[in-house]
Amino acid sequence: MNWEMVDLEDGHRQLQVEAPWEEIAPDYRDILGDFQGVAVPGFRPGKAPRQVLEVRFRRDISDQLTWRVAQRLCRRALEEAGVQPAGPLEVSGVEWEKDQTFRFTARFLPLPEFDLPDYRSWGPEVTEAADPQGELSLRLLEKVDFPIPDELVRGELAFDGQPDCDPGSEAWQAAARRVRLMLILKRLAREEGLEVEDAEVEQRIRNKAAEFGTTAEALTAELEPGGGRARLKDMLLAESVLEYLLENMQARYP
């Protein structure tokens, strides 16, 4: 894989990524295998030739391949660059053909720079509170302040079903606090070496699908447009960081 990162005038950064087909082929075979049991007119279930599946389901295969490969390669490139995104990655310009180089562009806002408080010194004043997670979140918000890009606040409001809120409104300020807390927890995750695996996201999707009376595939299809899946992963990361910090505080101050 090769990548190049450039700074854009609007504060975003842009990744241009390309990878040889050898790095993509396992994903392609795995995705194509998911379609081998699908009924195709003129063939018994599971008996349609690969070439027929590749033509009939090309768009679905392409969508899944783009999502899976772009996320994985972006994650690798960002790790190599030592950069953490503040929000979802906007993938565009995808070019791929079987046995050819896979190319795409990704645009994102980098995580703002800010100093972390001496959170490792906190103890019973947090762990013995009526709501330890709430107390920890409040302390982090009180100790860490930095400008929040309007784009991230608008994205949070859109997820919350309030896309038309004005800057300065109560809803806007609440969304900005949620975004700021999420970014602080992302930075803490990097500091503590914590991450959320894709398998954990898949499990949460399956759990929620069962709760809502739908399928994991249908829920995934709803989440992927607009960064819903990435937001779910961020939420799982936030939960993990808060739990990890509280466990460490309790261990230091039993």
CB-based contact 20:101 (threshold 8 Å)? yes
Q: What is the pLDDT of residue 226?
A: 64
DSSP state of 88: -
Q: What is the pLDDT of residue 80?
A: 94
**pLDDT tops 80 at residue 222:** no
Q: What is the pLDDT of residue 23?
A: 96
**pLDDT tops 90 at residue 232:** no
DSSP state of 109: P
Q: What residues make up the domain containing 52? A: 2-108
Which residue in this structure is represented by tokens 């720079």? 113
Q: What is the pLDDT of residue 225?
A: 63
Q: Assign residue 52 the CATH number of its domain.
A: 3.30.70.1050
In whole angstroms, what separates CA 132 from the centre of its chain? Answer: 26
Angstrom distance (rounded) from CA 89 to CA 108? 5
User: Is the same domain home to 247 and 134?
Assistant: yes
CB-based contact 15:77 (threshold 8 Å)? yes
198: which 2 tokens? Answer: 């894709």
The whole-chain average pLDDT of the chain stands at 91
76: which 2 tokens? Answer: 């690798």
Q: What is the tens place of the pLDDT at every residue in 32-72?
A: 988 888 888 888 877 888 889 999 999 999 988 998 899 89
Domain count, the chain: 2
Q: What is the pLDDT of residue 28?
A: 94
Q: What is the pLDDT of residue 121?
A: 94
Q: What is the pLDDT of residue 163?
A: 83
Give domain status of residue 156, yes or no.
Answer: yes
DSSP state of 93: E
**pLDDT tops 90 at residue 180:** yes
User: Is the same domain home to 137 and 87?
Assistant: no
User: Is the same domain home to 201 and 180?
Assistant: yes
User: Is the same domain home to 64 and 186?
Assistant: no
Q: What is the pLDDT confidence band of residue 215, given thresholds at 50, 70 and 90?
A: confident
**pLDDT tops 70 at residue 148:** yes
Which residue in this structure is represented by tokens 């500091």? 191
Read off the pTM.
Answer: 0.82
Q: What is the mean pLDDT of residues 201-225?
A: 84
* Lowest model confidence (mean pLDDT) among 26-30, 179-183, 218-222: 218-222
Q: What is the pLDDT confidence band of residue 197, given thresholds at 50, 70 and 90?
A: confident
Angstrom distance (rounded) from CA 133 to CA 164? 30
Q: What is the tens place of the pLDDT at every residue in 87-142?
A: 888 999 999 999 999 999 999 999 998 999 999 999 999 999 999 999 999 999 99
User: Is the same domain home to 39 and 125?
Assistant: no
User: Is the same domain home to 33 and 129?
Assistant: no
Q: What is the pLDDT of residue 198?
A: 81
Q: What is the mean pLDDT of residues 170-179?
A: 95
Boundary residue ending a domain (108, 134, 157): 108
**Segments in the chain forming alpha helices (H):** 21-34, 50-56, 58-81, 124-127, 132-143, 150-159, 170-192, 198-212, 216-223, 228-252
Give domain status of residue 129, yes or no.
Answer: yes
Give domain status of residue 113, yes or no.
Answer: no
